[in-house]
Copies of this chain bind each other. A is one copy, B any other.
């Protein structure tokens, strides 16, 4: 289907509009330094990822689930031997993450500004409702979006609902994001278009090994390339 039919463009938020993954990865490093008396850094990183995956179905995505997993991991990795001050520190780290400034991805504001005059723009993200709303407000990007969609996960069904809500057909919908797993594959599955703009850091949980080949798919290196294509 040609791109000329596109009516609505949805943007993922974390690592598509603003940096996010870097904050989590930095915090994981900081965590493993705090735990260095009990565990080697490499093992700590691996087991922390396992802990996050174990808790994901119950906790969902976001900083608060991450903070709870850090606390649980710290107790488990130290076999309950760590001082209470480390737990206090982890609570403080979680709050710092929630309060962190929003760093925009290069060129995104101008891209949104140009596109917003021709298309209905949507922010479509998973994660914590309050955190994502707060980041959107801090980002200054809110005025460019017609609609904000924050979902607990990004499955084909979630995208079908979104397209239905917008009163358009899947082939009139374009999703833009940094995760092949969440932003590309489920959208192609329902007959939509998808642009993948990789961020330099990808969470292991979001990794997809096979390259995507599909007529409705494009791989871009930065957001501003959209302006030449659309």
Contacts and interface: CB of A to CB of B under 8 A. Distances in A.
A219 interface: no
Interface residues of A, number: 29
A84 B80 contact: yes
A99 B58 CA distance: 8
Interface in A70-124: 71-72, 75, 80-82, 84-85, 87-88, 91, 94-95, 98-99
A30 to B, nearest CB: 18
Nearest to A62: B64
Contacts of A88: 72, 75, 80
A151 B128 CA distance: 11
A6 to B, nearest CB: 23
Please report whether the interface of chain A is mostly helix, strand, loop or mixed according to DSSP: helix
Contacts of A58: 95, 98-99
Contacts of A33: none
A67 B70 CA distance: 13
Interface of A: 58-60, 64-65, 67-68, 71-72, 75, 80-82, 84-85, 87-88, 91, 94-95, 98-99, 128-130, 133, 150-152
In the A-B complex, the 4 residue pairs with the smallest Cβ-Cβ separation, listed nearest first, are: A60-B130, A64-B64, A130-B152, A80-B84
